[in-house]
A and B are shown apart, each in its own frame.
Chain A
Amino acid sequence: MTVITCIPPLAALPYNTLVVAAGVAAVGCAAGVVGCFAMLRRRALVGDAAAHASLAGVAGAFLLTGRRDLPMLLAGAFAAAAAGMVALVLVRRFTRTRDDAATAIVIGVAFGLGIMLVSGIPRWGFAGSAGLEQMLLGHTAAVTVADATLLATVSLLAMAVVACFTKEATLVAFDAAFAAAAGWPVAAIDVALLGLVAAMVVTGLPAAGAVLVTALLVIPPVAARQWTDRVGPLLVLAGAIGLAAALAGVAVSATVPGLPTGPLVVLAAATVCGVSLLAAPGRGLVARRIERAAVTRRAIRGMLIDACRREADAADATFDHAAVVGAVAGDGPRERRSVSRAWDDLVRQGLIEPLAAGPRWRLTPAGRGAAAERSRRRDGWLRLMETAPDEVRAGLTIDLPAPAATPTATAGKGVP
């Protein structure tokens, strides 16, 4: 609580809102953590099936107890989510229906059942059912202090379970076959994972609603995955992103009247995810674009220096700028631009230099060394490709020049 009151946009909010924010933040954090394993196990949308099924459970629990009491409703939702998962497993086990269709069937039919029951409750004369429909899109403002405490407790428990079984879950997520062979109870671990997913879906219901709670499970892990290749940091980061998104969503919806909290939390998480997909170092789109450009530029430099040496060998150890660039670049203006950038690189690296007299250029000693090294490596690869058995050659993925452009072995002998 004290942490939350320190955050500027939240500090001015009434106590009740803060309690709700704490509950929702705990849910966001735990859902992010649990979602990591669902993502790694390639079952990201299993949570979606559980979420859609939970609505029927909410309605069923209300029909049975006749009261709108959050713990009861959530218990019903959990039972229905678990039943949805069982249905999924049964369809996979006993029919020819493929996984994607099985998931879609559970989503559609279970949600239909939920809507049927929810629509029936008031028409069948049950009083006090108002607000059940809000489980569809979430209605954070209706969460009481006791409810928030419940949500936070379940979330903390879920995170504790994940913390205790990280090793086992990681093993199953990355190599289920090995885990089974090594004697780990893979089925039990999977069931536990599904149970955790169902629990998080149900806890997320009051905050985000049945349709959007999947987002809390899916988006933070996808965002966190961009920044790390290790499971520990992934869990921490996904939890942090979920938490931050929840707080941001609550803060915005509290300051701007009329905006629903759940979708805002999802949009906050989606923003983080978009930024991560674009800007994360290593895996991000921008980083990979830059890396690819650097690789291309290096390749062009290599082609240029080869061309320089060919020209130099053909003439009096000097060459013409236009001839070399023309040999490497095609006709396109973009291609010519990137080739002349690579030319400038070579000059800057001291591999080629202009002659003191006249417009012609020559390779420096360092440039000749670099060209010789390239040709030595290429000859090595060519020998390997010629002598290697077919099955090895098929696995070699080096971009060799087309045969016509391959310099003959004699070309290398001119190098001092």
Chain B
Amino acid sequence: MTGVTLTVLAATGSGWAMHGWAIATAAVVAAGCAVVGTLLVVRRLSLLGDAVSHAVLPGLAVAVLAGGRPGGLLVFVGAVVAALLTVGAARGVNAAGGLDEDSGAGVVFTTMFAVGVVLVTVFARRMHLDAQCLLYGDLEYVPFETLAIAGLDVPRAFVSGATVFVLLVAAAAATWKLQVFTAFDPAAARAAGLPVAAVTTGLLVATAMATVASFETVGAVLVVALLVVPAAAAELLVRRLHQLAIVAVLLAVAGAVIGYLVAWAGNVNAAGAIAVVLGVEYVVVACLTPDDGIVARLCGRLGLAWRVACEDRLATLWREEESGATGAAVGGLVAARLRAGGLIERQGPDWRLTARGRREAETIVRSHRLWEAWLGRHADLPLDHLHPPAEWVEHHLGRDVRRRIEQDLGRGGGDPHGRDIPPEV
């Protein structure tokens, strides 16, 4: 299908202009979905987005049967009505059955979709709706249906997508404070007398609008990717709602452009490629987010493990010196690190602590023994249960905490095993 299209595009010699329009359409549609999706995600309504995107199918079919043109007002109204019906029915099923959100949505949107498929199949001859196109989208064909605007042939899908985007942004901007309040504390917003139910309904209408605008480009089932994935990725990156919306739009546009190019290069369905690229964006963001991304947290854990290993080795050497035993072999990466840091040095066949190393080791041993002494006094634990917790805590006690523990214990005491607690360095 696309193969043919691409050949046609190449033959006409205006390939780039055509692809440019397709990319622009994909980008503008994705941006509109991202705006709505941001609010859906922060309000934990992502699955409602999924449900609505499936459920507009019968509304669309009925509207087309009633004589609506694809992209026309009637189709829009049909889809919005179907979306509101779905949400109302889902709530009704939840209330009637005493069920959780998932079940109600699951029952209603699968039923609506089934109705839609039956309608499309039965009346296939009478409507210009292609089930294939509804499900997959036909981004490649977008440039062929144009409107003349200011002497320029602009694809109809681009016009409708851009209109919906502008409308959605305007609606979101006009009700922004309301949206923020409702998103983060619906109960308080309701108590403050704000029209929370109306805001939710408006959000669903917006979802239906974004869905319909995306239908021809990415298809019914993939709308959910455009709605949810950029917003979910943005949520990992930033914390404020307006930043979230902006980042989501940027990610969505990037996904649409890259996805189209991937589809072009690989000769595959553009909508699918866009969804996959968005998924890749999400994975990259989840991995690489500073502070609490997967990679950052992994690095943090590895760093901690490394520090603990080094400090434990220092403390072991110090204890050996204390008890007069020498000659423990020190090797491996940890020793190399300690040596490079000037904390240990070789004396004949043995490793010794340097003055600096001794100071650091004393701090650790001091933390360890203070903690044992403190636990021994305040927690009713047998003597042999004091060491394991102290072995962990010794790496995390600061100077201030050590001082306060010492004050609590009083001066001059040793640890519960009868050994001296080294003084603060």
Which residues of chain A have a CB within 8 Å of any CB of chain B? Answer: 39, 42-45, 48, 52, 91, 94-98, 100-105, 107-120, 123-124, 133, 136-137, 211-212, 214-215, 217-219, 221-222, 225-226, 258-260, 262-264, 266-267, 270, 273, 277-278, 283-285
Contacts and interface: CB of A to CB of B under 8 A. Distances in A.
Contacts of B49: 104
B222 A42 contact: no
A111 B99 CA distance: 27
B62 to A, nearest CB: 15
B269 A212 contact: no
A109 B226 CA distance: 9
Interface in B17-67: 41, 44-47, 49-50, 54
Contacts of A109: 225, 229, 275-276, 278-279, 282
Contact of B222 (A115, A120, A266, A273): A115
Contact of A116 (B92, B232, B269, B286): B269
A359 B226 CA distance: 74
Given A101-B232, A109-B229, A117-B268, 19 more contacts: A97-B286, A100-B44, A107-B225, A108-B222, A109-B225, A111-B222, A112-B225, A112-B272, A115-B136, A115-B272, A116-B272, A120-B266, A218-B103, A219-B106, A219-B110, A225-B97, A262-B117, A264-B114, A277-B97
Contacts of B269: 115-116, 118-120
Given A219-B110, A263-B118, A273-B107, A44 B96 contact: no
A261 B110 CA distance: 14
Contact of A226 (B97, B113, B231): B97
A116 B137 CA distance: 11
20 contacts: A44-B100, A96-B235, A101-B231, A104-B224, A109-B276, A109-B282, A111-B225, A112-B275, A112-B279, A113-B275, A116-B269, A118-B269, A119-B1, A120-B267, A214-B110, A263-B113, A263-B118, A266-B110, A266-B111, A278-B96
A199 to B, nearest CB: 18
A214 B272 contact: no
A104 B228 contact: yes
A107 B50 contact: yes
Contacts of A218: 103, 106-107, 110
B47 A103 contact: yes
A105 B100 contact: no
A138 B98 CA distance: 31
A105 B54 CA distance: 15
A114 to B, nearest CB: 7
B176 to A, nearest CB: 21
Nearest to A288: B96
A312 B253 CA distance: 79
Given A113-B275, A277-B96, A270 B114 contact: yes
A222 B110 CA distance: 13
B32 to A, nearest CB: 16
Interface in B127-164: 131-132, 135-136
- 4 closest A-B pairs by beta carbon, nearest first, are A112-B275, A108-B225, A109-B279, A116-B272
B122 A258 contact: yes
Contact of B97 (A114, A211, A222): A222
B107 A260 contact: no
Contacts of A105: 225, 228-229, 232, 279, 282
A44 B103 contact: yes
B361 interface: no
B268 A120 contact: yes
B117 A263 contact: yes
Interface string B264-294: 0011110111111011001000100000101
B3 A123 contact: yes
A104 B47 contact: yes
A258 B96 CA distance: 35
A103 B114 contact: no
Contacts of B229: 104-105, 108-109
Interface in B174-231: 219, 221-222, 224-229, 231
B275 A124 contact: no
B326 interface: no
B316 interface: no
Contacts of B104: 222
B172 interface: no
Contacts of A266: 110-111, 113-114
B250 interface: no
B3 to A, nearest CB: 5
Nearest to B118: A263
A284 B107 CA distance: 16
B115 interface: yes
A206 B202 CA distance: 38
Given A97-B236, A225-B99, A266-B110, A111 B45 contact: no
A273 B89 CA distance: 13
Nearest to B267: A123
Contacts of B107: 215, 218-219, 222, 270, 273
B117 to A, nearest CB: 4
Nearest to B224: A108
B83 to A, nearest CB: 16
Contacts of B232: 97, 101-102, 104-105
B261 interface: no
A116 B49 CA distance: 22
B77 interface: no
B106 A112 contact: no
A273 B106 CA distance: 12
Nearest to B225: A108
Contact of A119 (B227, B235, B268): B268
A112 B274 contact: yes
B97 A45 contact: no
B121 interface: yes
Interface string B223-260: 01111110110011000000000000000000000000
A96 B3 CA distance: 41
A278 B92 CA distance: 11
B102 interface: yes
A44 B106 contact: yes
Nearest to A111: B221
Contacts of B279: 105, 108-110, 112-113
Contacts of B114: 212, 215, 262-264, 266-267, 270
